[in-house]
Amino acid sequence: MLLGKKIIVVLPAYNAGKTIAQTIAEIPFDLVDEYVVVDDASTDNTVEVASALHVKNLIRHDRNKGYGGNQKTCYNKALELGGDIIIMLHPDYQYTPKLIPSMAYMIASGLYPVVIASRILGKGALKGGMPMYKYIANRFLTWIQNLLINQKLSEYHSGYRAFSRDVLENVNYEANSDDFVFDNQMLAQIFYAGYEIAEITCPTKYFEEASSINLRRSIKYGLGVLKTSTGYFLQKLGLASLTIFKPKK
């Protein structure tokens, strides 16, 4: 625990058999109370590796529900376990678990309800091997999103995030897509609900085993991001009434 807050790390896994053990090994368990691994019907040995590590909270989808669908299971389980601070960490070892204490403290101390580990602050993205076309797309989409949402994040596309329990209990993430655009829909929901988001500089690593989406899915994701941000803008003007911005019942 940290300042009396229960910390739970969730790992949405898909074909992470080669990296999940290394990721879990670096989680600071002197601080983290529990962790949850949700396997999204992997076709490799992710479940076998996790079982060998004696993962207590191991959930396996019997069919692939998508990246967003995986996160929904992760957050629901973390809330069920009584987490006060829930941190999503990808098990592909692209993000370092060593940032968990810093991210958790910002929430536990009451400074911010949400913290994102940004690859764009500093030179972490390109230094870590982010392909130039992805870097340019990240910067372009972020620029448009900041204009439409009226915020100043350095990026909206990091998969390393920490949330207070209050945020997950009040943001209707179940209404979001089961695909990759889930991440952006959730940030839009958080801002729409009036929460603030902090960022922390994050080094990152791009290598063969790290997860990545292909060009076709990247284009689909980019269009989904633009649709989400435009929807937020119209909702704020009272020109739209989107389900994702309705409060949780």
Per-residue model confidence (pLDDT) at position 208: 62
Token pair of 231, please?
A: 């929807």
Instruction: Please give the domain boundaries of the chain with CATH numbers for all domains.
Output: 7-245 (3.90.550.10)
The pTM for the full model equals 0.93
Per-residue model confidence (pLDDT) at position 91: 96
Per residue in 205-227, pLDDT tens? 776 655 566 778 888 999 999 99
Per-residue model confidence (pLDDT) at position 209: 59
Instruction: Report the C-alpha gap between 61 and 57 in whole angstroms.
Output: 13
The whole-chain average pLDDT of the chain stands at 94
Angle between helices 182-192 and 66-80 (to 10 degrees): 50
Per-residue model confidence (pLDDT) at position 210: 56
* In the predicted structure, residue 203 carries a pLDDT above the cut 90: no
Lowest-confidence pick of 10-24, 184-198, 212-226: 212-226
Over residues 90-100, the mean pLDDT reads 95
Per-residue model confidence (pLDDT) at position 226: 97
CA atoms within 13 A on the CB side of 14: 18
* In the predicted structure, residue 101 carries a pLDDT above the cut 60: yes
